[in-house]
Structure 1
Amino acid sequence: MSIADSLAAQPVLRTPRLTLVQHGPEYLDEVMAALQDAEAMKLTGTRTEFTREQVLAHLERLVGADERADFAILDESGAYLGEVVLNDLDDDNLAMNYRIGLVASGVRGQGFGTEAGRAVVEWAFDTVGIHRISLDVFSFNPGAQRSYEKIGFVVEGRARDTMLWDGEWVDSILMSMLATDPRP
C-alpha cells in the first residue's frame, strides 16, 4: 500500500487510555471551544480567529485525505481531548510534520499528549512507511518539548526569534525522529 493510500485509510488507534479516530466535522463544537482557549492558542502560536464555517470546511477536508492524517484524541468516556496531526507530506523523502493540540489546561500535563503521540508515530513509521517526522516547539513550552522527547524526538537545533508574541521574540526548538531511532 502506498503512503497516500495508508493516509487515506486512516485507522482507529487505541492506547491504554485513549482512542484516536479520524478527525472530522463531528468534532466541530469541540474544536471551536478549543479555539477560545488563550493558553492553547499561545502554545501553538495561533493568532488567527477562525469562523465556524472556516473550521467546518477544514474538518470536512480531512476525511479520506491522502496527504495528511488528523486524529481526534478521545478519552475512555469518549470525551474530546484534542488532536494529533501528521501533515506536510514530503512523499519523495518519506517525511512529515507532527503537531498536537490539547483542548484545555486541565487536560495538559497528564501524559495524554505523549500517549497519543507514541501511537501516531508508531503507526507512521511501522505501517505508513514514513522515514522522518519533524516538528518545532516554541521555547516557552518546555512541557511539550519534554513530551516530544518521551516519544523519541531529538533536538536538532534552535531557530532564533521565529515568533513575536506579546512584544517578545520567541525561539523555536527544532526536533525530529527517524524510523531508525530507538523508541523509548
Structure 2
Amino acid sequence: MIDTGALRTQPELSGETVVLAQLDDSYFEGAWRALRDPEVIRFTGTHAKFTEERIHEFLASRPGLADRADYAVLRKEDRVYLGDVVLSDIDEDNRSGAFRIALTGPDVFGKGYGTEATKLLLDYAFDVVGLNRVSLEVFDFNPRARRVYEKAGFVREGLQREALWWEGEWHDVVTMAVLKSDPRP
C-alpha cells in the first residue's frame, strides 16, 4: 500500500551535507538559474524554453500533491539551493515511481550532493511512501550521473537506442532501476 499522505505532506529529509525540503516558489531564483545553465539543459535533455511566469506557476503548484514528491536540494550548512530531486509517475497498483534529479550547474557537480540527495529520496520512497521499484533514464553522455545512480543502488536494465536528438546527433538513453529488496549502499 502506498502512503499518498506522505507524498501530500512531504516531510523534510536531512542528511550529512544536504537537506531535502518541499519544492515551492520560494526557490524560484535557483530553479530559474539552473534552467538557463547550458550544461544542466544538456544533461536533462530539455528542448523546452521556459518563461519566468511558467516556472513560478509550476513551483507554486508542487506542495500538497498526492502523486509525486518534488524536493529542493539544499546545502545543509546554509540552506543554499543546489537543485531539485523528484519522485514522480507514481503507479499505486504496481508500487513504482520514477526518479529525476537536476543540480544547478557545474559549481555543485562532483561534491557528493547528488549522491546524498538520491539516497535520501530512495529511503523516503521505499521506507515511508512504500514503493517497491524506482526507475530512471539517463543519457549516454552523462557518465557522472550513472556513477551516482550506481552508488545509490540503481542497476542498468536497458538501452533506448537513439532516443534523444541533441545538437545534431542521436544519443542513447540508459534505463536503470532499484528495488526495495536491492542492497542500498
RMSD of aligned residue pairs (Cα, Å): 0.9
Partner of 1:104: 105
1:67-107 deviation per Cα after TM superposition (whole angstroms, max 9, x unaligned): 00011011021110000100111111111000000001010
Q: Secondary structure at the residue paired with 1:92?
A: coil
Distance 1:182 1:78 in 2: 30
Map 1:165-184 → 2, pairs under 5 A: 165-184=166-185
Q: Secondary structure at the residue paired with 2:101?
A: strand
| C-alpha contact (below 8 Å) 1:32/1:52 kept by paired residues | yes
Partner of 2:28: 28
Structure 2 counterpart of 1:36, one-letter code: R
Distance 2:135 2:115 in 1: 15
Structure 2 portions without partners, runs of 5+: none
Partner of 1:57: 57
Q: Secondary structure at the residue paired with 1:162?
A: strand
| C-alpha contact (below 8 Å) 1:3/1:91 kept by paired residues | no
Structure 1 portions without partners, runs of 5+: none
| C-alpha contact (below 8 Å) 1:68/1:85 kept by paired residues | yes
Distance 2:2 2:139 in 1: 33
Cα gap change, 1:132 to 1:51, in 2 (>3 Å)? same
| C-alpha contact (below 8 Å) 1:139/1:170 kept by paired residues | yes
Partner of 2:67: 67
How far apart are 1:60 and its partner, in Å?
1.2
Distance 1:170 1:113 in 2: 23
Distance 2:162 2:97 in 1: 24
Query: Following superposition, which runs of at least 4 residues in structure 1 exceed 6 angstroms of deviation?
Result: none
How far apart are 1:3 and its partner, in Å?
2.3
TM-score, with structure 1 as normaliser: 0.98
Distance 2:74 2:24 in 1: 13
How far apart are 1:4 and its partner, in Å?
1.5
Cα gap change, 1:171 to 1:2, in 2 (>3 Å)? closer
How far apart are 1:55 and its partner, in Å?
0.7
Partner of 2:9: 9
- Answer yes or no: is 1:119 the counterpart of 2:120: yes
Distance 1:119 1:70 in 2: 13
| C-alpha contact (below 8 Å) 2:153/2:178 kept by paired residues | yes
Q: Secondary structure at the residue paired with 2:106?
A: coil
Distance 1:125 1:78 in 2: 25
| C-alpha contact (below 8 Å) 2:2/2:95 kept by paired residues | no
Partner of 2:138: 137
